[in-house]
Structures are given as C-alpha cells and as structure tokens.
Amino acid sequence: MSNAPFALDRREFIALAGGLAAVLVIGDGAYFASRRSAAHAQPVPSESSTLTQPATPLNGAIASSNAEATSAAAASPETESAAATNSETPSTTLEDLPWNLRLVNREHPLDADFEPNNLAELPGASWVEPHVNHRVDARIVEDLAAMLTAAEAAGTHPIICSSFRTYDYQENLFENRIERAEREEHLEGTDAEEAATFWVAPPGASEHQTGLAVDIVDANYLELDEGQEETATQQWLMIHCAEYGFILRYPTDKSATTGIGYEPWHYRYVGKEAASAITQSGLCLEEWLVETYHIQA
C-alpha cells in the first residue's frame, strides 16, 4: 500500500520519541483562520504527543474540562462502559456522555489549560520506549498493559511512540507541519494550514490531550504511514484491540467523517462494551455516538 502524503521519515520519528518532533495528527481545514488568535491568547500547559481531522456530523458543545474530570473520577470504567451501550436512556448532549466516550476533534476542542488530573506514567516494559516518560489516563493503564502484553505473547513487537501530550506541544507539532507544507508543498497562508490540519490536529483538537489515546508502532517498522497496517503488530491489534476497550480511531474508509487521514497506529480507549459495539457496527466514533445516543446537532 502506498504511503500517506505526509508520512514521517525516520529522523522525525526518533525526534518525537525525545519529545521534540512533529507527528501526524487530527485535523480539518477549518482551524487555519484562528490559529494565531484565540489559541495563542490563552495560557497553555507543556505537552508531549500526535494526529488529524475534517468535518464531523456532530457540533454539540463539550462539557467543561473541570466538570468532566470531577464526574469521571466518581465513576468506574465498567459502569461507564456499560452506560455507553445503553440505548434505552440515550443522552441528548455530548456533555452527558461518560469520560471514556468524550469526543475531541476540531468541532469539539479541549481548552488550552485542560490536562487530566489523573495521569499515570506507564510502567517499564518492552513495549514502552526507554527513557521516555509516557503517560495516560490512569483508568486505562490496566487494559492498555494487558493488550500490549497479549500482543507480545502472540509474537508481535508493539511499541508506544506517543501518549499524552499537552496543548502547547500539540501547537508546536501543528506549527511544524505548517512549515513543512510551506517548504515541501510550496503552499502559503491558509492553504498551508489547511494541508497541515489533515495530518496534524490543531491544538485542542487532539485526543492525545485527553490521555485516552496512544500511537503504537511495530518495533520492526517505525514509520508512521500506511505501511503500519501490514505489520504483524497492527494486524493483531486491529483484530483484538476491542477486547481491551480500544478502537482504531481513524479507519481507512472514514476520513470524510472524522476529517483525519488513515492512521493504522492511533488507538483510542472507549471501554470494552463500547469498543465491541463500535467494532461490530463498522462505524467510526462520531457516527456511533449519533446512532447510539441520538445526539442532537
């Protein structure tokens, strides 16, 4: 399969491991006009992770980060995952959704100062890059570790190359991608920004800021491009990730809905029951939330 237009080269990937390089992200061409206005006017934290996205069928409001953090801490993953598939009492607004189903994209961005208050550092393991402080939402650590341990037991070699990242770090990734579009595509202004948003999410629009997403690559193939799907690691993960509460967030045939280029390495935690339902439905997260919860636009 051919590589994605903006696939990272090995030098960029290695730089990302050290927390300094640009990575692919979620995006869509609607952020460009405001990148130097509102996003720069707010104080931002210091981050570290990835990916992209266009228009979605949803445009409801997202609850404030503080309110969600408080409600999330009060509920268990199992209880909220069960709620994810309860169609008898559907939610009508996005803020009513449980923590594990929070929708983050260009239309539903996070605040510049949002940072999960329960981040946990991943334990030392062969599937964690050495000398890299990878952190995720503490509530997904057990399932993430179980998934990657099982993947290794099956003979594959997964490595987490990106996990939680801050608003500031995402902003740096986005700016770097714009510069690359200007340099390599000879684009200018909003054209360069629009091109960048398909491969790198604008600040606030990346799921990595929630601590619920990770980028996983095969140790024998470190490129972030479509070649990942041919690796043993990705083939195993695509089949089994739902068993551990994860979904492949940006499938190859859903870019028109997610606004993000195909990313066969970006996995998002939604809980075991929701992951099973989403996988069986063949829908992406945006579509499934509309169908299951009848979210009103």
Buried b (16+ CB within 10 A) or exposed e, 233-259: bbebbbeebbebbbbbbbbeebbebbb
Catalytic one of 107, 194, 263, 286:
263
* C-alpha–C-alpha distance, residues 221 and 216, integer Å: 11
Concerning whether 273 is annotated as a catalytic residue, the answer is: no
Of 297, 282, 255, 278, the closest CA to residue 100 belongs to 278
Give the C-alpha separation, 240 to 70, whole Å. Answer: 31
* 109 three-class SS: coil
For residues 245, 250, 254 and 255, what is the CA-based torsion angle, rounded to 10 degrees?
160
Residue type, 241: C
Q: Tell me the two tokens of residue 141.
A: 């650590």
Q: Which sequence positions are flagged as catalytic?
A: 263
